[in-house]
């Protein structure tokens, strides 16, 4: 029995990206940076990117609707994406951590926090309130590193 692939979980797809649902992937990035060593977090992210690349390889070839153009992902492509992700991981991680630190120390963040506190005191907090920056998860780090690696490999091949 084969199951339908949920491409929204694949960090290399261009369409809607939901991110993987497992708790690990939803750990806030700043928290993950405190509980994992950089090389451990790198191993986690690069392994996910490679697994997602191999998912595309295994499902190849793809036929684009409307144009009927067929394209194939190869194991060589997946290995290049993995290698590029490994090479660029630390710089991208550091950039994202700097971005998040600035965000969580900004006047806008503190003003929003003040508003949340007011809502909590009145028992009026929206049940869907999520206090994290939209880039603040391992899922998003996988997406950012993975897509930049995929684009770099595609650019180098042309």
Q: Determine the Cα–Cα distance for residues 98 and 146; give it in Å rounded to an integer.
A: 19
- Mean pLDDT rounded to a whole number for the chain: 92
Nearest to 147 by CA among 6, 19, 5: 19
Q: Tens digits of per-residue pLDDT, 39-58?
A: 999 999 999 999 999 999 99
Q: Tens digits of per-residue pLDDT, 59-114?
A: 988 887 778 788 899 999 999 999 999 999 999 999 999 999 999 999 999 999 99
Q: Which of 33-42, 57-66, 144-153 has the lowest mean pLDDT?
A: 57-66
The residue with tokens 């990206």 is: 17
Q: pTM here?
A: 0.88
Residue 22: both structure tokens together: 């497992």
């Amino acid at each position: 029995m084969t199951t339908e692939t949920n491409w929204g979980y694949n960090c290399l797809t261009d369409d809607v990206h939901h991110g993987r649902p497992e708790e690990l992937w939803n750990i806030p990035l700043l928290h993950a940076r405190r509980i994992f060593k950089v090389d451990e977090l790198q191993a986690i992210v690069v392994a996910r990117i490679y697994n997602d690349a191999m998912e595309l390889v295994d499902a190849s070839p793809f036929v684009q609707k409307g144009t009927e153009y067929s394209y194939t992902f190869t194991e060589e492509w997946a290995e290049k994406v993995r290698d590029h992700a490994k090479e660029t991981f630390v710089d991208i991680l550091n950039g994202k951590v700097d971005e998040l630190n600035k965000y969580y120390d900004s006047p806008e963040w503190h003003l929003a926090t003040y508003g949340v506190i007011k809502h909590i005191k009145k028992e009026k907090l929206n049940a869907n309130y999520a206090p994290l920056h939209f880039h603040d998860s391992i899922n998003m780090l996988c997406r950012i590193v993975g897509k930049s690696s995929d684009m770099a490999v595609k650019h180098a091949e042309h």
